Homo-oligomer: A and B are copies of this chain.
């Protein structure tokens, strides 16, 4: 994608397909962005794929291929302009606009999520909080009032919520999800240990602590002794 026309590919005659970006790449772009932001704050102007890849914990060739998908333009023999690349990644991830987030379930975990500072930082404003518990409804968390779940359809639609977070018990998750989808929410982050079924066109991602722990448990039990499978140093995001 070297210098010429930046977004070549299309698939069907009327619809421009901006060179489909692989799922795996999208997930890593978010990681690169964090590293780039840090570098920018430190005053770094230019970075090579080697250095950026190391900081992000990935292979350099993979990073270059990822960037090639977003039509990046590094300079051979030099590297990437940190500032320019940051903007490109932000643009691709849709972070140039802000996103109104609704969080349902302000119990243990939900409360922590509502108070998490990293949100507003990146243009994700907590636009609404919901719960069923009458004890919690009416209270204020991080400056936002907790509303009754019955208000989900009305409030999500009114406040233009684009991303919903489900932090309810498993039993309530599907119902809450349906309410949000009905209100036009198209992207949901699910913390409840339940499978959500949604109509096509709605994106669900899941964060499941129990699953993560069990994957780690698997690896623990594979190495009862102190065997070291490989001698190279590994880096993880």
Task: Count this chain's copies in the assembly.
Answer: 2
Task: Tell which of B112, B215, B230 touches A30, judged by Cβ atoms closer than 8 Å.
Answer: B215
| A: contact size bracket | 35 or more
Q: CA A199 – CA B230 in complex, angstroms?
A: 9
Q: Are B93 and A214 in contact (CB under 8 A)?
A: yes
A209 located at the interface, meaning its Cβ lies under 8 Å from any Cβ of chain B in the complex = yes
Q: Are B26 and A223 in contact (CB under 8 A)?
A: no
Given A109-B112, A206-B236, A237-B206, residue A216 in contact with residue B200 (CB < 8 A)? no
Q: Which residues of B contact A218 (CB under 8 A)?
A: 21, 26, 29, 92-94
Q: CA A190 – CA B196 in complex, angstroms?
A: 25
Q: Which residues of B contact A76 (CB under 8 A)?
A: none
Q: Which residues of B contact A7 (CB under 8 A)?
A: none
Task: Tell which of B193, B216, B229, B235 touches A197, judged by Cβ atoms closer than 8 Å.
Answer: B235
Interface hit among A61-69, A116-124, A146-154 = A116-124
Q: Are B195 and A237 in contact (CB under 8 A)?
A: yes
A95 located at the interface, meaning its Cβ lies under 8 Å from any Cβ of chain B in the complex = yes
Q: Are A205 and B216 in contact (CB under 8 A)?
A: yes
What's the least CB distance linking A222 to chain B, in Å?
Answer: 7
Given A95-B214, A196-B236, A206-B236, 6 more pairs with CB closer than 8 A? A92-B218, A97-B221, A99-B220, A124-B217, A200-B229, A208-B237
